[in-house]
A and B are shown apart, each in its own frame.
Chain A
Amino acid sequence: MSVTELHAARRARRRKRADLRAHGEPQRWATGGALMLGVLLILGFLLLVLWNGLATFTPGPIAVVHLANGTVLAGEPTRAEAFEPTDETLATLPPDWQERIQAEHGLASRTLYRVGNYDLYGEDFRWVADYEIRAVEHPGDVVFVERAEWGPFVGRFARIELAGTSVAAKDVSADALEEAHRRARERREEIRHVEREQIGAVNREMERLRLELRRAELAHGPGSEAASRTAARVEPALAELQREYDELAARAAELRAEDSRHRVTLEDVNGTPKELLLSEIVRYYPANAIGPFGALGIYASRWWEFLSDEPREANTEGGVLPAIFGTAAMTLLMVIAVAPLGVVTALYLREYARQGRVVSLVRISVNNLAGVPSIVYGVFGLGFFAYTVGASIDQLFYPERLPAPTFGTGGLLWSSLTLALLTVPVVIVATEEALAAVPRSIREGSLACGASRWQTIRSIVLPQAMPGIMTGLILAMARGAGEVAPLMLVGVVKLAPELPVDGVLPFVHLERSFMHLGFHIYDVGFQSRNSEAGKPMVFVTTLLLIVLIALMNATAIIVRARLKRRFAGSQF
């Protein structure tokens, strides 16, 4: 062959493109598909939470369902699903239904109705299969009544008693009823104010005086002079407070008597009556006749109630204000505790320590702290902080309250310290990054000007690293707000009687138990009487928690991005 022919042959043989196997298109699809699956999972999850969370508070229509067996039930349709009826049930159905079900591979469909009236029926929800339904109607006068106890009521107003006179419900105009309801709610607020706040203050003062007396007795002996002096001082004060208490109790009784003159009789769709005080009704609306603006109003008012009110009905209704409060209080305390420890350790690692064994030991410890499961921190917090340190504090400072523990059990302080220990690695890593980002030249310049090491750190390095430290603290807050496992052991409760931060001296009560949003989710979902009733509430709380954490993370990311931009051009 001639050279030209050889070259031509070679050119013909030369590959025009990479062969398929080397290009690896299936492998690209495999890796990309994995990524897309992950992204779809996240998106699906977020959408699920968003959809269910946002849709929970919308007021739905009430269907009055006439069943094939003659009974009637009324309820709000919650969801529908496919299910397999058992063979015995199939045998009892008419042939056209059996055919229809067979055509669907043995699947029929059923709807879950929220029938409410737990005190009458013993159940909140009922499944109705579509083959059981004879007729469905949506009458305009059926109301959905949210009550202070026993959950919602589905039915109609029968009679209304205002100021002692009883009238049939249809003779009372909607506006008059609304006005009476508003006044009843105000009265209820006032009763609550008298009982909770005023009587509560009197009780607290009496308890304080009694504890003072007991403390004197414990310290000096029951018959001693110091004890009798204290008793002489305390007893008249107690008598005065008792008088005040009686007065307030009388006022409360008076208000309650007035309240009980305003009642309403409801009846369910079968005519069973139920009598209530007008003030026990939280909200009511004619579910099939409200129209879009009314629905929007109810939706907004439910959201407002959720964010600002206390829970009802074992946490399955009402609001989560105490939980938000508790989460915020604990997270703030945690940040106050973790900031010094984290920043100091990072400073040590970056500025002070000589590279060598000690530094690697500290780094290994930080990595191990980061890897320890959160429940182990909870165990340590309970055993060491609460039962050991707390018990000693009780012996030293609160002996008069024993055997009831003050600090010797879980509470706000121990929870914050436990979570501070848990989130220290996050702060350390973020602070180290921030300190490393401060250019060396600035440090050297400061030292050249005659500043000492501490002066350099305090005046130059730390202020420049502050945004990074803030990022770390915000990330720690986000992490702490989501941890539930250690808190289950050290201080979170299902229902806290008081807020940990309130207007009573010393304002921040470190020994009180508190509620927490994450624990609220666990509790309502798994420890309520009816988890189906609790599910909507859990979705809304989940949405709130995710929104809070996302906000905190977004803030951290924005701060970090701005920090990067600031330092982009600061090399000199």
Chain B
Amino acid sequence: MSDILLKTAYIFYLVSAVFFCIHLFSLNKTWDRIARFLLKTGFVLQTAMVGVRWYEAGRPPFTSMYEALVLFAWSVILVYIIFEQVYKIRSLAIPVNILALIFLSAALPSESAIKPLVPALQSRWMSVHVITYFIGYGALSIAFVLSAVYLLLAYQKKIDQKGLDLLDEFTYRLIVFGFPFLTVGMTTGSVWADSAWGSYWNWDPKETCSLITWLVYAVYLHARLLKGWKGKKSAYLSLLGFLATLFTFIGVNFILPGLHSYS
């Protein structure tokens, strides 16, 4: 049941992407409205998918690579919906749609069988740890796209300063939104590690990389507040931060063995 829901959600995201493309060319607002409606309907379906899989597995569905990728796509859209509500900003929908499609395209062909949890993963901290990290990752990945777009447009000089400033401002807000979530993720992770292994910090490669990510964004925040780093300089830091995020999320699993490797 959960696979069908996910595939349906994926189709909604795909069709939504098509409508976004039509909107870009025709500039008729109706297309944009339909596209965003489809994106949100896909999100509702995907939320249902996570719920159904949780029920099917009898445990939080956040442990395999498949489940992590699904959650990544879900959190990116969740962050978008929050930002749309708070700031009435609609143009984030396109990068968000692309990100969700990328993560789901990676998730769909991967091994999706429900596997039982090893004892260390059976903890009530697991859901909070994973969900908060992924909401943080969701915000930071949108920030990454905005920074990349910023740099592209800034070098091509295709946009006025006001547009660039807005991109810069939203990148900042997304990082300001994501950073505390990373911190909650790190906190709950350390509480969990303490109850499972008797040590709140183990310098496992994934932990170390998540600390690196956190520190890169801390540098971003300090440089911006105290050194007035804006625009290109801070966009590069945001790119670096997301590279660290991606390395923490995926790189570590394939390159560096440790306590966190997905099954």
Indicate whether A and B interact: no
Give me the interface of B with A, judged by CB distance under 8 Å: none
Give me the interface of A with B, judged by CB distance under 8 Å: none
